[in-house]
Structure 1
Amino acid sequence: MNVLILSAAAKVPLVRAFAEAAHARGGKVLAADLGPDNAALFEADEAVILPRSDAPGFAKALAKVCAAHAVRLVVPTRDAELPVLAAARDRLAEQGVTALVAGAEALAACQDKRRFTAVCAAQGLATPRTYAPDETPARFPVFVRPVTGAGGRGARRIDRAEDLPAGADLLVQVLETDPEYTVDVLLDLTGRPLQAVARRRLQVRAGEAVKSRVEDAPELEEQALALCAALGLVGHNVVQAFHAPGRAPRFIEVNPRFGGASSLSIRAGLASPDRILQMVEGRGAEAAAPRPIAYGLTLLRYPEDRFVTEAELAALAEG
């Protein structure tokens, strides 16, 4: 079974994880990006160049690549491409290709943080205390996030009322001090929740955990599974929350795709790539069986250099 990973960029661990699962089935992994100067393209079995996801010809080019390389599964990795891939999902399905993406409504609820907090409230799940748009916080510091956006961009602490940006579309919340967790949540292709792995974010840089540890947090995992199911998501998703013993988890967002440090949960036993390929193969019962989890497993991320020659870059650019 052949797998295509979009916006592969430097997501070498994800390419490797899918390659291990695909190779076991006699398949291969293709990595795609805008240009040849992306490390993950040289890690994949094959590399392809695709236009930007917002370009008019993206869907047609994607379908062409899938047909030419017998791709059965397309895996998005960037928020901006999710709605585009969701719109192309039915077209790809006609070719026998599964796009690992939820529907437009589910994506919209994840990408708009006001809608997200409303979904949490409807499900009886807690979020940090959120101020109304015209409400002045009772005390400072507070934490603000853009209502739309991802990856921690624009999220920051505000210490004084006069420092709150005027006219900005921000979600203003109480500053949480409990430990922050990421929960990798796996659902099947119909949205049925299967298993979750919680990892504590020990050190964060530019919105991504560079040090992270798998912990046994059943309440957090169960609620994260319920939340993703209520949102209508599929496949692998990343849930952000604050949690401490004796206190209900407070959820802040869901990214409906693999995350930068999802390799930890994959290695700890969640095994999302292998189980997702089982789903595509029609082996849903096997994919649904819970896997043992290596609690305490710790991820220490570090940069890795990849050297390529001018000839290699030129060859990839030529296709």
Structure 2
Amino acid sequence: MNVLILSAAAKVLLVQAFQAAAHPLGGRVLAADLARDNAALFAADQALILPRSDDPSFVDALAQACAQHAIGLVVPTRDGELAVLSAALKRLAAQGVTVLAPSLDALAVCRDKRRFTQACRDLGLATPRTFAPGETPDRFPVFVRPVDGAGGAGARRIDHPADLPTGKDLLIQALDSGPEYTVDVLMSLAGAPLQAVARRRLQVQGGEATKSRTEDVPTLTDQALKLCAALDLVGHNVVQAFHDHAGTRFIEINPRFGGASNLSIQAGLASPERLLQMARGQDAEAARSRPIAYGLTMLRYAQDRIVTDAELGAL
């Protein structure tokens, strides 16, 4: 079974993790992006250039690529491509392709932070105090985020009422100073909760953790599994939350691999291996919980990939 990773960009570690799972099975890992000058394309077994996900030709091009290269599993990595993939789930499934994207209904809750907050409340799960549209906070500082946004874009702290922006497209919450965690949650392809790993975000740049540590926090991981199951999510998901002695306050879910998910993969969650098992029908083996190494710290650094004009031109 071959794997196709979309919007591969610089996600070399994700490509390598899937290679480690696919190669022993005789499979290959292909990486796709818009442009040739992306590092992950050179780490993959084969590179593909595909249209933008909002291009009307994208789904046809993706379906053709899957047929041509015997792709059995498609792995999205960017929020912006999830909706079009969710809409194409049945079409791609008809040609034997599993896509790690939730239903459109589940995706809508994940994308809309106000709906996500309400979903948490309905499940009896806590979030930072959230102010209704038009409601003036009675205490500052607060934290403002776009209702529909990713990667920390537009998120900021507001210290004074005079600086508070207006607009229904903004979510205003009480500023939470508790430790921030990401939980990597593995779900079955049918939406059953399998296993989760919590990692504390020690340093964050541009919305992604550059230093992170795995920690054994069962109350947090259990709630994250419950939340993902209630939302009918599939595959690998990343859940953001604050957690301390006062409990857990959920922030958001990204129904895809995260930028630092490699830490949880290497700690024992083994999502790529288990997702391939699920795609091959080995559900019982994939569902078996794995031992997790806690106290592992990820220290991210940059690495250069030097390529020639000839190598770029060959893609």
Relative to the length of structure 1, the TM-score reads: 0.98
CA distance in 2, matches of 1:131, 1:86: 31
Q: 2:295: which partner in 1?
A: 296
Q: 1:20: which partner in 2?
A: 20
CA distance in 2, matches of 1:128, 1:181: 14
> Is the partner of 1:243 in helix, strand or coil?
strand
CA distance in 2, matches of 1:304, 1:197: 26
> Is the partner of 1:204 in helix, strand or coil?
strand
Give the 4+ runs in structure 1 shifted more than 4 A.
Answer: none
CA distance in 2, matches of 1:156, 1:101: 29
Relative to the length of structure 2, the TM-score reads: 0.99
CA distance in 2, matches of 1:6, 1:45: 14
Residues 1:153 and 2:153 are matched in the alignment: yes
Residue by residue, what CA displacement relative to the aligned partner does 1:85-131 show, whole Å, maximum 9, x if unpaired? 11111111111110111000000000000100010000000000001
Residue by residue, what CA displacement relative to the aligned partner does 1:278-319 show, whole Å, maximum 9, x if unpaired? 001101000001000000011000111000000010110xxx
CA distance in 2, matches of 1:229, 1:247: 24
**Percent pairwise identity:** 71
CA distance in 2, matches of 1:21, 1:87: 28
- 1:1-319 pair list within 5 angstroms: 1-167=1-167, 169-244=169-244, 246-316=245-315
State the one-letter code of the partner of 2:173.
Answer: Q
Structure 1 residue 134, shift from structure 2 partner:
1.3
What are the ranges of 5 or more consecutive residues in structure 1 without an aligned counterpart? none
The answer to whether the Cα contact below 8 Å between 2:179 and 2:200 also exists between their aligned partners in 1 is yes
CA distance in 1, matches of 2:47, 2:82: 20
The answer to whether the Cα contact below 8 Å between 2:133 and 2:168 also exists between their aligned partners in 1 is no
Q: How many residues align?
A: 315
Aligned-residue Cα RMSD (Å) equals 0.6
State the one-letter code of the partner of 2:16.
Answer: R
CA distance in 2, matches of 1:35, 1:135: 44
State the one-letter code of the partner of 2:98.
Answer: T
